[in-house]
Structure 1
């Protein structure tokens, strides 16, 4: 009996002890779960923040095992790097989120300008850390041998939500990525130089004005999109040159490798210098689509595959493949292949310069010709009055003459052997239509045959509506007209012209050094075409009409120094301007009118030859005389009248606002 009691007691103690152990294990497990949840769960963003920072993926769960768990070496590497950057102890940095990613290139999608990034899909991790007050996001490869810190997240309070929504909407449309994979990573307030937000395109007129707005960077799905916007959000424009957009995120690695291998062999360049710029899934109607140049049967026998575009700084190749890339064929008609053999450093330098000059992304440019040259001096044969050029050796300076196509425009650059020095060759780049228009006008003006004239200098310019040549009393539209400044010479005289990109030309008389040409014979102005006489208190009046703007402006000088300008036909008088000059200047101008005997030109008109276009008609009046002339024949009118016009221009230029 005693033995049975003892046995029962022992069993009872064993049951209690087992229960205590089980309870301890459960408590410890719960504590570990709470600890892991605290370290892994991020703080949920506010509703406003969600609109600005869309999650790319759900946070990683530390309880996951195997491939989904963040490797210890990655966690340690990002903590160590952030600690060295911020000075925060590694123990105070907690990983709040992580997710597996496949990055678009060797720079993990965060390559800087001019940085060469390996064109390959890189598996890795995105890791978010926090010290309790601020968060940081890292990108790594699988072993954390490559680390990249993302830009700080934008403050949701600064960028208007409506603007953020508009940007993200466009990014979704362009990339085809779901909204959950896109996020705004950077915002910056900017003031853009014109109505095109600084993204000028050939043939598009942009109003010259300061436009407040934003630069917004969107990232996700292996894409980087940089936007320029107006402050109101009424304009949202993609900066293609600053963006990195491809459709190759879903491209299979076997296809990528096969295409890059073939392109490398085709161009005889390393694969690391090539980049996949576009990839599109296709369904080819027939397998013989891979046998270019051969006769294809007409039956529909679809085959799934890809169309992949590969590019470097000078070439653009389009390939067609089947789904596994067991067949890869070059589409020669769709490709842009040149025989240019300029070194990669030269090609990159020239394309970067052309991109900045033209405003077009490098992906839209194409090198069409490259020639080896021996330049006569260190200035590459392009002289300037303000620059002293060191002479070359007897063998000359080795280099390249590179021609680039940018849409309908052509850019020619001279470089040294490695592209570290270069110069824009404006004369060689000048459109033929512009060159011919300028030479014809100089020949007509000077009576010198075109064969005896040569263009010695040409520079790209952006003009206002008057092509940069203002006239007294004429308000020039503030539009950006792409064009040229062209200098012509006959070895003794020079003529400077301002042009657009086609055939509109205007002589810059102040910049030219040429003798006066034959004086024109005037005609009489009919009395019916004379303007009203000046009233009491008026000293001088200039009426300008015609030109590119097609408007008429009237500028009047009063004897008290007031200078008033109106636009004829402006019902609201909204363009009235009032300025002032000194009484001394008024008196000097009146004396000049008498000295040059302005009255002898009364009712005389000096007109250009028939066929001239886009010139400005000027009609100038004093108290007792009126004469008229066209601006393009100003250097062919009598010298005394030229002196009057010159003095009036100087007086107008010295005006001060009231």
Structure 2
């Protein structure tokens, strides 16, 4: 399924630039060495079993036929051994009769190298039975169960009371996207996932490797009552060359307000309606304010929020949406969810609001 910058700004950008993804120069691995980090939760190790050639051939042949491309254009990404709940591999349709028996098999990611689009498959052990998944997310069932086990051990509800809200495949560096300010991360590309789970009241976000041998709680982005989900394509490059941080406020009426913190220490404001600028303003920020704001971002580990959206439940499609963007990435939230955001994000919002209030 689918820059010339002022010294205070330069130091802050360097502090916040530890992105969660690898630089792409390393070959991703499923089973990296277990970290000694206190964030890591020890579990019995899951062996990294090689994917049989017959399974690889079967899933690539199916996708090549589906897309109308050559098999050579496709490659195998992450894979894991799974136990499927029935003869339909857990993908049966509403009118389909599925054998009520557990089926041992594989989950396999197939990547279209031209479009960089990923497709997930479920198979039996031999590759004789192949099904392409159309699920909203494809967190492996074995990994889901291990995350629930860790969450329950860390004080959340029993695993039977937990559910997966969203999941997203990731390629991590050695810090799993959870580096502290100024922390040097091993430049290794690790196949993995991040998953949002909930007990119905609170939400927790976990970063993992592909097999669940490393499962880390993103404490910064967890614990709120606002419902998080993952943005499809978080884009830290959306900023202008001289902009270090900005907020974009999209109202249901179509009005867009943008506050931009520039390298020269000024905050610029634009108000647009239907693509036309109807108001603008500029204000200067003192060096003390600027330093305090960048320190608040670093202390709050702003990059831990990269690519997350927080909303009320149920979500209101017409709600005012605020997006905060730095060079480390973007986080979004509906204005109505502000009181339910994780405390660290609420602190960032308060600091930013205090600095931009003079432009209101």
Please state which band the TM-score falls in when normalised by the shorter chain.
Answer: 0.3 to 0.5
RCO higher in 1 or 2 (8 Å CA, sep ≥ 6)?
A: 2
Greater fraction of residues in helix: 1
Normalising by structure 2, we get a TM-score of 0.35
Normalising by structure 1, we get a TM-score of 0.20
